[in-house]
Amino acid sequence: MFSRDKWNEIIEALSANWFRTLLTAFGVMWGIFILVILLAAGKGFENGVKQGFGGIATNTMFMWTQTASKPYKGLPKGRRYNFKTSDVEALRENVPGLRFISPRNQLGGFGGNNNVVRGLQTGAFNVYGDYPEIIQQEPMDVTSGRFINYLDIQEKRKVAIIGEGVRRELYEKDEEVLGTYLKINGVNFMVIGTYKKKGGGGGNSEEAQKEIYVPFTAFSQAFNMGDTVGWMAITAEDENSITSLKSSVLDLIKSRHSIHPEDDRAVGNFDLYEEFNKINGLFIALKAVAYFVGILVLLSGIIGISNIMLIVVKERTNEIGVRRALGATPWSIRGQILMESIFLTIISGMAGIIFATGIIAAINYALSGMDTSEMMFANPSVDLGVVLTALMILICSGLLAGLIPAQNAIKIKPVDALRTE
């Protein structure tokens, strides 16, 4: 099968009409090129969107209070209530499978009045009272100093970690930040660190860098929050989905605050895991579309090869007759035609893969010199599995393209073939 004579014969047959062979090969090359480029573009879009999440813990839900929409136990509808720190402990004790439960409080500065003062500089920033776990749920790079720790929580230290955006607005370019003081709503906090959010921070990337984090306990004490919790960020263990635990969390909160079990409006929540799965579903659909379109384009090339092989068989009728007369078996004739078809398909397909790889490499090189944090497209690529899949598609396509011409070839009777001029 792999003798030199066989290969010389295949090359001689395909090179008999170079122009026709090149045009036929172009159809397959273009088909596999389109398939690989579409898959790489889909992967680049997926990488860009996931980069926007900035490494945020996607197995997370956010929960806040709203007004009760149904009366219950003598309490009227429309009433308001607040989460308490005791709710956090109740969730830890009664809902297994939760990894982090972060109670949070917030002073809204964005779009509002100036709430932070340093010397003559003022600014409107979001100020959060948080526990150290929040850095696991909203990953950020600490660019100097440190983040909040549990000693800060226990001692109610009035310390703060500020975003790079806050630093730019309140400090000079090379001014030392650590150890300085900010006045937040009239209360002094010492700066112990600076951070930079990864990706887009789950939203407006510029505003994500203009936030200030202080210990939850110090926040509650400084701004007279008592044991009130504004909202919670809840992350499940990796082996559980927060979506499956959400009903247990909501039921416990409803029972603790005398809310009707069927009141779905009293406890506001946003399930990030559920939304993230929807996005993943979109990427799966895009990949399926890429395969569908790419294979359709490839199929047109395969049909072209099949038609050309039919013409080649017709042109070689006399040659096939001579071979049959000299004792060539139908299997050897069929194998010769199939090998020619597979060879042409694989060579042209590999040229398409190499061409597509070069285009992808050029795009990645161009992107490497750009800031892609604000882009919805990053690092387009195809993995080895895709290349192997494309190779298998090429082999199967070559077999299909050569099957009909090969069957036609073995149907030729030696006497009729030798009679053909």
What is the per-residue burial (b if ≥16 Cβ within 10 Å, else e) of 173-207? eeeebeebebebeeeebebbbbbebbbbbbeebeb
Pick 352 or 54 by higher pLDDT.
352
For residue 110, the number of C-alpha atoms closer than 13 Å in the C-beta half-sphere is: 14
pLDDT above 90: residue 145 = yes
Q: Same structural domain for residues 199 and 109?
A: yes
- Say whether pLDDT at 161 is over 90: yes
Cα–Cα dist 51/80, whole Å: 38
At 357-406, the pLDDT tens digits run: 899 899 888 888 776 666 777 888 877 777 777 778 777 777 777 777 77
Residue 194: the pLDDT is: 94
48/113 same-domain check: no
The whole-number average pLDDT for the span 275-291 is: 86
Q: How many CB atoms within 10 Å of residue 377?
A: 17
**pLDDT surpasses 60 at 111:** no
| Range with the poorest average pLDDT among 218-227, 374-383, 405-414 | 405-414
315 pLDDT higher than 80: no
Beta carbons of 407 and 334 less than 8 angstroms apart: yes
- Asked if residue 262 and residue 130 are part of one domain, the reply reads yes
3-state secondary structure of 202: coil
Instruction: Classify residue 85 by burial, with Cβ atoms within 10 Å: 0-12, 13-18, 19+.
Output: middle
Same domain, 229 and 300: no
Nearest to 345 by CA among 395, 300, 386: 395
284 in the same domain as 379: yes
Q: Domain tally for the chain?
A: 2
Are 404 and 286 in the same domain? Answer: yes
Which pLDDT value is given to residue 53?
66
Q: How far apart are the first and last CA of the chain?
A: 30
Last residue within a domain, chosen from 219, 251, 273: 273
Q: Look at the chain and count its residues.
A: 421
Question: How much is the average pLDDT of 151-179?
Answer: 92
pLDDT digit string, tens, across residues 14-63? 666 777 778 778 888 888 888 888 888 888 888 887 776 666 778 899 99
Beta strand ranges found along 166-307 (DSSP E) = 181-184, 187-197, 211-215, 228-229, 231-236, 267-271
Which of 238, 273, 308 is the endpoint of a domain? 273
Range of the domain at 269: 60-273
For residues 211 and 306, membership in a common domain is answered with no
* Strand, coil or helix: 378: coil
Average pLDDT estimate for 322-342: 75
**Better-predicted residue by pLDDT, 6 or 234:** 234
- Report the helix count and the strand count for the chain, using DSSP H and E: 14, 14
Q: Is 414 exposed, middle or buried (0-12, 13-18, 19+ CB in 10 A)?
A: middle
Kind plus residue range of the DSSP H or E element containing 117: strand 116-118
What pLDDT shows up at residue 34?
A: 86
Looking at the fold, whether 269 and 310 belong to one and the same domain comes out as: no
Q: Tell me, yes or no, whether 234 and 316 share the same domain.
A: no
Residues 247, 371 within the same domain:
no
Q: Which of 212, 247, 273 is at the close of a domain?
A: 273
Shared domain check, 262 and 281: no
Across 194-203, 261-270, 369-378, which has the greatest mean pLDDT?
A: 261-270
* pLDDT attached to residue 107: 85
Give the DSSP letter string of 13-82. Answer: HHGGGHHHHHHHHHHHHHHHHHHHHHHHHHHHHHHHHHHHTTT--SSEEEEEE---SS-BTTBPTT----
84 and 225 assigned to the same domain = yes
